[in-house]
Amino acid sequence: VKLSGSASLDSDLKRLLGSGAVLSRSSELYNHDSTELQALSGEPDAVVAPSDSAGLRRLIGWCESHQIPIVPRGGGTGMAGGAVPLDGGIVCSLERMDRVRAFDPEFWRIHVEAGVTTARLRDLARASGLYFPVDPGAAEQSQIGGNTATNAGGPHSFKYGVTRHWVTGLEAVVGGGTELRSGGPTRKDVAGYDLTGLLVGSEGTLGVISSVWLRLIPAPELEIAVIAGYGGIREGVQAILRVYAAGATPATLEFFDPGCIEATRAAFPGSMPHDVSFLVVANVDGTEVAARQAETEIQEVLAPDSVLLRSVADRGSRAQLERWRSGIGFAVAARRGGKVSEDIALPVDRLEEAILGTIRVGDELNLPACSWGHAGDGNVHATFEVDRTVTADLELADAGATRLFELALGLGGTVSGEHGLGWVKRDQFGIRFSKDAQRLQLQIKHAFDPSGVFNPGKKLGTYTSWSPRTPRNPE
């Protein structure tokens, strides 16, 4: 087969999937994802969007017999280059597989195809008084398949857990064009190995997820944000640790460090006293009565040493706060024209060391550094501000990222709490895991993907000895 948009490739794919499924390669949309700085870009040989599982099976069988890489793609909001076709191959977008296969609100469960967006799923659930608590920050664009493939988290993971906690089953097409069904609407299932768990977080390297069964819960009646400001990092982190000691369970428990506050103070809704340099935001939820009770409790826990303490309950003010929260990345990046963020995670009692360590690495490299994130989960978006037009800045940030990974591992943590290894952190596979753990994972990869066509070079990086082609360096 001649690749790169050749007439024979296009006609083969049209014959397999129908002409509506072969998308234009000239749209650069499918060349990149949301990885920092958007510098990571690849060129697919073809972009296809099958409309059903049968088409997906045909496509995968065809890719295997022609030894052509297949790059699964959801909403393209990933931040590790996982959906970027760096080695060419066929981008398989799930956008046309967006049907709701079954929705049983009375039993709090739904079965959706992979291409349903996170926001649509949350809206569907809400309309029936139910709640899907996973809320990664790009929900309008990200898809349930992508959330599942990355085991996405988000602020509400503190109380509600990550995607894995909500997936009761899935269907995926794996090596040999085999349609695998694991789990289903059953809430509990310990028969056999946990294949669902293996596919959750597999970043497109074990197969293409075509549909997902999710459990839902009754929607909370009320959510209240409690905002607490402190004069320093130590006081703020102590407040976060007191939440644990008190046994409080806010839905979210977020932190914002001094550099982050400095970049966003002007946009903060309402006034923020000048002596606030560290912010904690905890959202409590539940029935009206339970949420009000939790508000009082969390206020008491956060009060000592605070220089700002207030609650925001009405929808409009919470939306303003949410807008401020989601604008942080842009505000920080705007200071020097760009940013490089990592998503290290560590045991929560090492949070202060991670925040201070991030600032120290920045100081040593002469790059302004700050962090914010999901404090309750010890998940730190450690960030360097860079001028994206200055190569030296980017090189320093790269060196800084390596130092952050060492910091996280030294604190007993991990190099990625949310975004995965994808392409950008693939080398960490050999650092994070022992030789035995690497071997076992490679054997799993081989069992699911004997031809090595699923997202080669990602997650397991250079260790993917079954990759049909050598990954190209994007530079």
List residues near ligand FAD by CB under 6 A: 33-34, 71-79, 82-83, 94, 114, 136-138, 142-143, 145-147, 149-150, 152-154, 203-204, 208-209, 418-419, 422, 455, 458
User: Tokens standing for 237?
Assistant: 């982190």
Closest separation between CB of residue 207 and ligand FAD, Å? Answer: 7
Output the smallest distance, CB 436 to ligand FAD, in A.
25
Nearer to ligand FAD, 45 or 295 (CB): 45
Q: Determine the Cα angle at 92 with ends 8 and 450, to 5°.
A: 90
**How near is the Cβ of 123 to ligand FAD at its closest, in Å?**
16
C-beta closer to ligand FAD: residue 34 or 299: 34
Pick the closer one to ligand FAD by CB: 150 or 358.
Answer: 150
- Cβ(131)–Cβ(219) under 8 Å? yes
The minimum distance between CB 93 and ligand FAD, in angstroms, equals 8
Smallest distance, Å, CB 159 to ligand FAD?
15
> Residue 138 CB, nearest distance to ligand FAD (Å)?
4
For residues 72 and 376, which CB has a smaller minimum distance to ligand FAD in the complex? 72
Supply 230's token pair.
């402190």
Phi, psi (rounded to 5 degrees) for 108:
60, 45
User: What is the closest distance, in whole angstroms, from the C-beta atom of residue 141 to ligand FAD in the complex?
Assistant: 6
Minimum distance of ligand FAD from residue 382's CB (angstroms): 14
Q: Which residue is nearest to ligand FAD (CB)?
A: 146
CB of 98 to ligand FAD, least distance (A): 11
Nearer to ligand FAD, 170 or 359 (CB): 170
* Closer to ligand FAD by Cβ: residue 70 or 226: 70
Q: Which is nearer to ligand FAD, 118 or 306 (CB)?
A: 118
Q: How far is the CB of 68 from ligand FAD (least distance, A)?
A: 15
Q: Which is nearer to ligand FAD, 96 or 109 (CB)?
A: 96
Write out the two tokens for 194. 């946990």
**Judged by CB, which is closer to ligand FAD: 91, or 301?**
91
Please say which residue, 149 or 308, places its beta carbon nearer to ligand FAD.
149
